[in-house]
Amino acid sequence: MGSSTYALSTMLAAFMMGLALGGLIGALLVPRLKRHLRVFAICELGIGLSAIATIPLIQAAAPLFLKVYFLFQSSFRAFTAAQFGVVFLVILVPTTLNCAAAKARNEAWKRK
């Protein structure tokens, strides 16, 4: 996506959505669980694995972007929507896990 307004908007939207989703998941699931530090560790592991996978995922999406570009040459919106969807999902996973991990950490701290 480069360094355009669309790239910044995609990153910010995915980040904010990830925080909201992680907060919701954390608020609904974490208090029901007994081992909060284990949940925290699993979330942190997921964050690390998704961070490792981010660059290869974006590089693997380049052929997809080319296909979409040639398929919808006359439609800037379709091409931008395809980029938005792929990048949004790549960023959404670690931010969701990050907020859920924070909730698990806070629950563990509260219970000690």
Global pTM reads: 0.77
At 1-48, the pLDDT tens digits run 566 787 788 888 888 999 999 999 988 988 888 888 899 999 999 999
Domain parsing of the chain, residue ranges: 5-111
For 72, the token pair is 């919808």
Mean pLDDT over 75-101 rounds to: 85
Handedness of CA 78, 80, 83, 85 (dihedral sign): negative
Considering the chain, what is the average pLDDT of its residues? 85
Task: Say if CB 18 and CB 98 are below 8 A apart.
Answer: yes
pLDDT at 97 over 90: yes
Number of CB atoms found within 10 A of residue 86's CB: 20
